[in-house]
Structure 1
Amino acid sequence: MPRDVPRPAIAEAVQSASPDPAPGGGAHARSPVLVIRHGAFGDLLQADGALRDLREHHRDRPIVLLASSPYTRLMARCPYVDEVIADPRAPMLQLGRNLALLRTLRERGFERVYDLQGSDRTALYRRLMPEPSQWLRKHNPADSGTPDRLAYAWMLAQAGIRVRHADAPDPAWMADDADALLAAAGIPPDYIVLIPGSAARHTHKRWPGHAELARRLGEIGRAVVVVPGPDELELARSLPCHVLATPDGFLDWFALAGVLRRAAFVVGNDTGPTHLAAALGTPGLALFGSHTSVERTGIRMRAFDAIQVPDLSSLSVETVLADVLRRLPR
C-alpha cells in the first residue's frame, strides 16, 4: 500500500466493487474465508469495519477469524464472523503448539485469506499452509502515518470489495445495556468517564493529572466515573470519583462498552478502553506522549480528538480541562 493513502483515493477505488455473487444453495454455501487479526484490543477495534465489509461481500461464505487467545470470547460475539479460532501465538520454538494450529488451518482448506495482521508470523503461516486461491495481506509500515483501518480499506478496495465501513468501525454490538449498573451506583446520565490507567508495562502512557482533573470536574458539578482494569484498581481508588466494578472483580468488555457508550464525555490515555470509546462514537479526548503518532493509531474519529505532547508529565490540567469544557455536549 502506498504510504499515507488519502481517503479520496479509496473512494475512487471502490466505485465499481460489488458483493461476492451468491450461487444457489443459500447463505454460507461456499468454502469458508479466513481473516487473521491477532490483537491487542485496539487493533481488533480498528478491524471492526473491515470485518463488516467482508461480511457484506462474502454473503454466502462462513467467515472464520484467527485471533489472539485472550480475545476469542470477545470476538465470538461479533456479528460479522461465524467462528473464532484461538491463536496462542506460541514462541516459534514451541513446535508442538504451532504445528497443532497449522494443522487446524490446513484442514479447513481456506480458499481466501485476508491477512489483516501482516506480520512475520502470518507470513510464515502462509508459507506453511496450502496455497489458497487468494491471500491478501495488509501492508502498512509501522513508521507510516496511516491508521490500520485506512490500510484495510485500501487493501479491500484493491481486491474489488466495496468499502463502506472499514474506515469507520462501530462496535456497538459489544455494548451491554448499562442502565441497571449505572442506576445501582447512583450515577446521573451526564457522567464523564476518566481512563487513567494502561497496561502495567506501559506506565509511560499514563497522564499524571487524572486525579486533579476529576477533582476540578467534581467542583463544577460533573459526575466522574472510572472503570478500572485488573491492574488499575489501586490507581482508580485514588481518584475522587465513582469506581465501577463488580463485587467479585472487574467489568468485562461488554459492560465496559455499555458504560462508555452512555457517557457524556471520555478522557483517557492511549489504551484499549479509550480507543473503544472513540469507536463507539462517544465524544472524548485522548492524551498522548511521544510513544507513538496519534495519526497512526487512528483514534481521531467522529467526536473523538486527541492532544499530543512530547512529555505527558508536562501536560497541564488546565489545558485538558479547557479542551473538555469547550467540547462537552450542552
Structure 2
Amino acid sequence: MKITGDDEEGKSQLQSFISPKEKYPTLVTTSKLLTTGVDCKTCEFIVIDSEINSMIEFKQILGRGTRIREDYGKMYFTLIDFRDVSRLFADKDFDGEPVKVKETDTSTIPNEDDEEFDDTTEGDSNFYPEPGDDNSGDASFINDPFGEDNGVSKYYLDDVEVRIINRRAHYYGADGKLIVESLEDYSKKNIRKEFSTLDQFIRTWSETDKKDEIRRHFEDEGIFLEDLIDDVGKDMDVFDLVCHIAYDMPVLTRKERANNVKKRNYFGKYNEKARVVLDKLLDKYANEGIENIQDINVLTLPEFKEVGSKLEIVKKIFGGKKEYEQAIKELVQELYTIA
C-alpha cells in the first residue's frame, strides 16, 4: 500500500501499519514517511530505492528500524539498499566526534586545558573505504545475522533465478571505526583468531562430544557459518566449512563423508539390526548434519520405527544407553577419520 501525504486512502491506514496488533498493511511504499518520526516499532525491513545524501535523514530512517519489541519477536531489522546509501555508515559524521576520556586520580578534577588530546588513531587516514577501493562498502544488502536457513537457498526476481555474486561484512573495530570486508575474509580471520592452526581446530573438534557446541561458540564470537554455505554451494557441515574457509582445505560434502564410512568395513562388528540403524543415521547425517544423529530422539522418527521403538533400539539392539552412546561416538569419529 502507498502511504504518502497526497494519498488519503493510504493515510487512513497509517495507524494500522504502525500498530503491532494489526496484520495489514504489511508492505508500505512511501517517500518521506520514515523520516517523520512515525512510531512503527515492528518494522522489520527497510528498503531504500532513492538517493539520500543527508545524514540526518538517513539516521531518521534507521531509527524506525532500531526499535525493539521483544513481545512481538522484533529484535533486529534488515536494511536492503539499492542506492548505496549505506555508504553513510562509513562517514566520519555518522557517530560525530569521539568522546574524550582521560583516566585520572579520583581525588583530583582534571582540567582539559592541561594537555592536548590526540583524537587520531594510527592508520586512521586509510580506515574509511574510498570509492573504487577493494574494501569499499559496495554491499547492497545488510543481512540478518541470526538467520537459521540451512542448505543452499535460491533467489528469484520477477520469477527469474538470480544469484549472489558478492557479500560483505560491515562491523565496527575496537576503535569504533567501520570496517568493510568480504564475508569469507572476515570469517577466516576470526576463525584463525580462535584456532591458529588446522591441527588445533581438529583437536578441539575431536575432543568436543557435542559438535553443535562448536557452531554455537562461533556464533557467540560473531562468526555465522550458515551464511557462508550459500556462497560455497555445497552440503557440508561445520567441520568441513571451517577447514575450507579458514585453512583452504578441499571441500568434502556430508554425503561424501557418509559414503566413505559405508565403503569401509566399519559396520562388521554390529548385528544386522544395529547396522540398519547406523546406516539410517548416516543417511540422516548426509541430509541434515551431525547435530541430528547425536540426538537420541532421532530414533523416534518414522524411518526408524520399522526397526523398533526408541527403547527397543537402545536396549535390545545395542544393549543399553551406554552402549548406544558409545556406538554413536565411534560413528562420529569414523565420519571424520578422513579430514
Higher relative contact order (CA 8 A, sep 6+): 1
Q: Please give the TM-score of this superposition, normalised by the length of structure 1.
A: 0.24
Higher strand fraction (1 or 2): 1
Higher helix fraction (1 or 2): 2
| Structure of higher CA gyration radius | 2
Q: Please give the TM-score of this superposition, normalised by the length of structure 2.
A: 0.23
